[in-house]
Amino acid sequence: MKAAGKNCALKIIPLGGLNEIGMNMMVYQYDHEIIIVDCGLMFPSPDMLGIDYVIPDIAWLRERREQILAICLTHGHEDHIGALPFVLQELDVPVYGTALTLGLVGSKLEEYKLKGKVELVVVKPRDTVALGSFQVEFLRVAHSVVDGCALAITTPEGVVIHTGDFKIDNTPVDGQLTDLASLARYGEAGVLALLSDSTNVEREGYTLSEKTVGDAFAEIFPNCPGRIIVAAFSSSIHRVQQVADAAVACGRKILLNGRSMVKNVQIARDLGYLTIPDSALLGLKEFPYLPPEQVCIISTGSQGEPMSALTRIAMDDHKQIKLEKGDTVILSSRVIPGNERTISELVNHLYRRGAQVFHERVSEVHVSGHASQEELKLMINTVKPRFFIPIHGEYRHLHKHVELAMKVGIPEERCILAVNGDAVYFYGDTGAIVEQVETGRVFVDGKGIGDVGSVVLKDLKHLSEDGMVVIIIGINHSSGAVISGPDIVSRGFVFEDESREYLEETRNVVVAALEEINAEMRCDNEVVESLVRQALRRFFKKTVARRPVILPVILEM
Q: Provide the H-helix boundaries in 325-385.
A: 340-352, 373-383
Is 103 within 8 Å of 273 (Cβ atoms)? no
Given strand 33-37, what is the order of strands in its sheet?
A: 120-122, 95-97, 68-72, 33-37, 25-30, 10-16, 422-427, 430-436
Is 151 within 8 Å of 164 (Cβ atoms)? yes
Buried b (16+ CB within 10 A) or exposed e, 184-213: eebbeeebbbbbbbbbbbebeebbbbbbbb
- Rounded-to-integer distance, Cα 330 and Cα 181, Å: 37
Q: Give the phi and the psi of residue 27 in degrees, each rounded to 5.
A: -110, 135
Task: Summarize the chain as % helix, strand, coil (round to 5).
Answer: 35, 25, 40
- Rounded-to-integer distance, Cα 304 and Cα 151, Å: 34
Is 28 within 8 Å of 35 (Cβ atoms)? yes
Catalytic residue among 179, 197, 422, 524: 197
Q: Report the C-alpha dihedral over residues 218, 224, 225, 229, rounded to 10 degrees.
A: -100
For residue 60, what are the CA distances in angstroms to 67, 72, 93, 392, 542?
A: 12, 18, 16, 21, 37
- Rounded-to-integer distance, Cα 2 and Cα 238, Å: 49
- Rounded-to-integer distance, Cα 206 and Cα 372, Å: 5
Radius of gyration of the chain (CA): 25
- Sign (positive or negative) of CA dihedral 7, 9, 13, 18: negative
For residue 438, what are the CA distances in angstroms to 227, 393, 435?
A: 52, 20, 10
Amino acid at 497: D
Nearest to 440 by CA among 419, 416, 468, 417: 419
Q: Active-site residue 370, yes or no? A: yes
Q: Report the C-alpha dihedral over residues 153, 155, 160, 161, rounded to 10 degrees.
A: 10
Nearest to 493 by CA among 550, 447, 554, 552: 550
Residues 6+ apart with CB under 8 A from 91: 58, 61, 62, 65, 68, 71
Is 434 within 8 Å of 424 (Cβ atoms)? yes
- Rounded-to-integer distance, Cα 552 and Cα 537, Å: 12
Catalytic residue among 75, 80, 359, 370: 370
CA atoms within 13 A on the CB side of 149: 28
Q: Is 253 helix (H, G, I), strand (E, B) or coil?
A: strand
Is 370 within 8 Å of 199 (Cβ atoms)? yes
Catalytic residues: 197, 370
